[in-house]
Structure 1
Amino acid sequence: MNAASPEDRLWHVQDVSAFLGVPVETLYRWRKYGSGPPGARVGRFLRYDPAKVRAWVRDREAA
């Protein structure tokens, strides 16, 4: 089995929290109200595609 390269790895909630500089609780609150970066459940875990998180940030900068 091939391990995913670091560029292909999905981010954990803690990774997104560190990248955006917001508490983990804020990410969960944003998700609840549909206003945060898009995330997906992988089993029982919440994961984020780094490219989508970066695109979400770019969209906020343009607004």
Structure 2
Amino acid sequence: MNIRVKEAATYLGLSKSTLDKLRCFGGGPRYFKLGRAVVYSTDDLDAWMSDRICTDTWATANDNQQTKRAAA
């Protein structure tokens, strides 16, 4: 199923503003445009959420620090 930005934000439990920022600056779910309308597939939203499943907050924070150090 395909849904627009406001519905997608609700589906993800995010604000529309957060989803807009993720789309503009990167890191958000895949989307496509139909004219001026931004549309998300619920399958892509589910996949994006699945990629963010964490079991340990320390491991996630630690991995992010290692990535930042490697990029520097």
TM (normalized to structure 2)?
0.69
Secondary structure of 1:25's counterpart equals helix
Secondary structure of 1:41's counterpart equals strand
Give the aligned length.
Answer: 55
Aligned counterpart in structure 1 of residue 5 of structure 2, from 10, 13, 22: 13
Give 1:14 shift: 1.2
Aligned counterpart in structure 1 of residue 14 of structure 2, from 17, 22, 25: 22
Give the ranges of 4+ consecutive aligned residues of structure 1 lying more than 6 Å apart after TM superposition. none
Query: Which protein is richer in helix relative to its size?
Result: 2
In structure 1, stretches of 5+ residues that fail to align are 1-8
Identity of aligned residues (%): 29
Q: Which residue is 2:23 aligned to? A: 31
2: distance between equivalents of 1:53 and 1:40? 12
The RMSD of aligned alpha carbons is 1.4
Q: Which residue is 2:68 aligned to? A: none
Q: Which residue is 1:61 aligned to? A: 53
1: distance between equivalents of 2:33 and 2:10? 19
